[in-house]
Amino acid sequence: MEGKCHKRPRKENNIFDIDNMSPAIHPVAEPPTFVIPTVMNYKIPKETQFNHAYEVVVALELEYKNIKFSVKPNLVGDLILSSQDHNTAKILSEVTNLNGKTVKIIPLDLEEKTTRMVLLRYPLELPVEVIIKHTKVTKAERSVTSQDKAQTRQVLVDIKGQSQRR
């Protein structure tokens, strides 16, 4: 290693030196802020005064030019609208009539949804009640074998909210 030496960073370049930070990036104690979610989901039931729920979406886009949302069908034929901004969320919350027809747009609370998961390798010695004590768990039951109904190490768990995995 001839000719090479490791230089110690100068004090003004040391990002861990809090006393030497510029005021623009100096940490300041601020009160916590609560973010209102911009994405709110709404459901348009498949039974409407329109011929199809998708016609409600078309009428919304024609009536409100600055509306921004994405549309996905669910398994029963309803349409789920995800608003992209606060203005769209406000419009979708307030609309009751389009083209002289009554429209039912139902706000969906994401926390009401539950996700069913299987917890693997849960020890047989531990009771399932330990899992149920968790604040997000609504239901937990141990799986059993089909032949002799012996308990397995798998636990079926229902969790409040949406799954974090995608």
The closest alpha carbon to 68, from 55, 52, 87, belongs to: 87
Contact 123, 107 (CB under 8 A): no
| Residue 67, both tokens | 């509306």
Please write the tens of the pLDDT for every residue from 86-108. Answer: 899 999 999 999 999 999 998 88
DSSP class of residue 25 equals T
* Spans of all domains in the chain: 41-108, 112-160
Q: What is d(CA 50, CA 79) in angstroms, rounded to the nearest whole number?
A: 13
pTM, two decimal places: 0.47
Q: What is d(CA 98, CA 79) in angstroms, rounded to the nearest whole number?
A: 16
Residues of the chain with pLDDT under 50: 15-16, 18, 22-28, 32-36
Contact 46, 60 (CB under 8 A): no
The closest alpha carbon to 68, from 52, 91, 48, 50, belongs to: 91
Q: What is the per-residue pLDDT for 157?
A: 92
According to CATH, the topology of domain 41-108 is Alpha-Beta Plaits (3.30.70)
Q: What is the per-residue pLDDT for 116?
A: 87
With left for phi above 0 and alpha for psi between -120 and 50, is residue 57 left, alpha or beta?
alpha
Q: Which residues lie across from 160 on neighbouring strands?
A: 114
